Amino acid sequence: MSDLIAPSLRRRMACWVYEGLLLFGVLFISGYLFSTLSQSRHALDNRHGLQAFLFLVIGIYFTWFGHKGQTLAMKTWHIRVVDAAGQAISQQRALIRYVLSWVWFIPPLAVIAPFSLSAGETIVLFLGWVAIWALLSRFHPQRQFWHDAIAGTRLVNSEPLNR
């Protein structure tokens, strides 16, 4: 277990940002598909249906690639998700990890919802929460994000595979 070293916080956050860029494309295509199939004529038509569909798409993305051990962003940054023993995670554990990972977004969204905050205030609140949540990993004994610790998963360094 000594070789299961967590990547640096900087690398994990760079991977997190890159993952967001990749997900933008996945969500764009998925949103277009949903809007076309539901024949939405306005951005707010079927809004809740679209949100549920995109939540499902993201869940499938992270559950599938989590089960495989790496998303494209994780491959790029040489990071792998494993269980506490360093083995590949099951799809069920990947799903649990996905649901728990929403702690990155739910708290700021819950604070933003009842107030009419400007775009600048929303960005500051969101980025502030992300920074706090990321820095809290410093308090974990193995420097893992807390949602990973609760899910029984961990992020570790992964050497590129020579194929």
| Listed residue (90, 71, 78) closest to 7, CA to CA | 78
pLDDT of residue 161: 60
Confidence category of residue 163, pLDDT binned at 50, 70, 90: low
Contact 144, 157 (CB under 8 A): no
| Listed residue (12, 29, 28, 31) closest to 71, CA to CA | 12
Contact 23, 58 (CB under 8 A): yes
DSSP label at residue 88: P
Cα 33 from Cα 47, distance rounded (Å): 14
pLDDT of residue 51: 93
Mean pLDDT across 116-132: 92
Percent of the chain exceeding pLDDT 70 equals 96
Measure Cα distances from 10 to 13, 17, 23, 77 in Å: 5, 11, 20, 11
Say which amino acid occupies 26: V
Cα 104 from Cα 119, distance rounded (Å): 18
What pTM was computed for the model? 0.85
